[in-house]
Structure 1
Amino acid sequence: MSVDRYDDDPAETPFKLGLHHVQLALPPGGEDDCRRFYIDILGLTEVEKPPVLAARGGLWVRADSLEIHLGVEEDFRPQKKAHPGILVHDLDALAAQVEAHGLTPEWDENLPNMRRFYLPDNNGNRLEFLSSES
């Protein structure tokens, strides 16, 4: 088995470039709090769920090619380690935006050629925001 270095070009595979969505959990009844975080603070747009799925509760949001599905989990526990890594165009602008809402990005400089910070969502789920160093 071979292992690629982090800065190697990825091998060609049958996968498309990117993910369709990332699924995160929220506690029962937490949709409005998630709207305030994901829509009002981060600036994502709500996606109308198909009726059969809307009956389950939850919230879908998106921006550009990023889509996050927040599903109701009865025995909700926030993910402190597992997280989506979200690429953004202007990391500093996003950091300023969340700081304007009283939130504090946790900057991390340990990933080569990338700038990034972590931020918990309104439920404590860990989110990572990244951009290439310029």
Structure 2
Amino acid sequence: MILGLHHAQITIPKGAEEQGKEFYCKILGLLEIEKPDSLKGRGGFWLEVGDRQVHVGTEDDFDRLKTKAHIAYQVDNISYWRKVLEQNNIKILDGVPIPNFERFEFRDPFGNRVEMIQEI
């Protein structure tokens, strides 16, 4: 039986960890958590998102702009996040409407598709 979601993983280019932490930790305000010693040599970093984790791995030769794969962050003030991202020159893309939700999408600095979603 599947009990729930433990983590999701996204990727950034190899060697871009500091730029990734600048965006995910400073702009989005996510908390970096320590990776197990056995995985530290693989690059990347881990983030805490509520009671879940996002693992930011590294890989090259992958065009993130060509995929619909994405991660969606549930928020309680979507207007705030739209403003924060616009102030950091992140282009906002309006998502297809879903009943009972307000949402938008954007691409992180590495091309990963990201969604902010709020139940209304």
Normalization by structure 2: what TM-score? 0.88
**Runs of at least 4 residues off by over 6 Å:** none
Aligned partners of 1:110 and 1:127: how far apart in 2? 16
**Aligned mate of 1:113, from 80, 100, 111:** 100
How far has the Cα of 1:74 moved from its partner? Answer: 3.2
How far has the Cα of 1:98 moved from its partner? Answer: 1.4
Aligned partners of 1:122 and 1:21: how far apart in 2? 21
Secondary structure, aligned partner of 2:85: helix
Aligned partners of 1:72 and 1:38: how far apart in 2? 15
Residue 9 (structure 2) aligns with: 23
Asked if 1:128 is matched to 2:115, the reply is yes
Aligned partners of 2:117 and 2:2: how far apart in 1? 22
**2:64 partner amino acid:** P
Secondary structure, aligned partner of 1:110: coil
Contact 2:43-2:57 within 8 A present in 1 as well: yes
How far has the Cα of 1:81 moved from its partner? Answer: 1.0
Range that drifts further, 64-73 or 30-39: 64-73
Contact 2:90-2:107 within 8 A present in 1 as well: no
**Aligned mate of 1:89, from 76, 82, 86:** 76
How far has the Cα of 1:33 moved from its partner? Answer: 0.9
Contact 2:64-2:111 within 8 A present in 1 as well: yes
User: Which has the larger strand fraction?
Assistant: 2
Aligned partners of 2:89 and 2:54: how far apart in 1? 23
**2:112 partner amino acid:** N
Unaligned runs of 5+ in 2: none
Secondary structure, aligned partner of 2:38: helix
Contact 1:25-1:76 within 8 A present in 2 as well: no
Contact 1:26-1:76 within 8 A present in 2 as well: no
Q: How many residues align?
A: 119
Over the aligned positions, Cα root-mean-square deviation in angstroms equals 1.6
Asked if 1:48 is matched to 2:34, the reply is yes
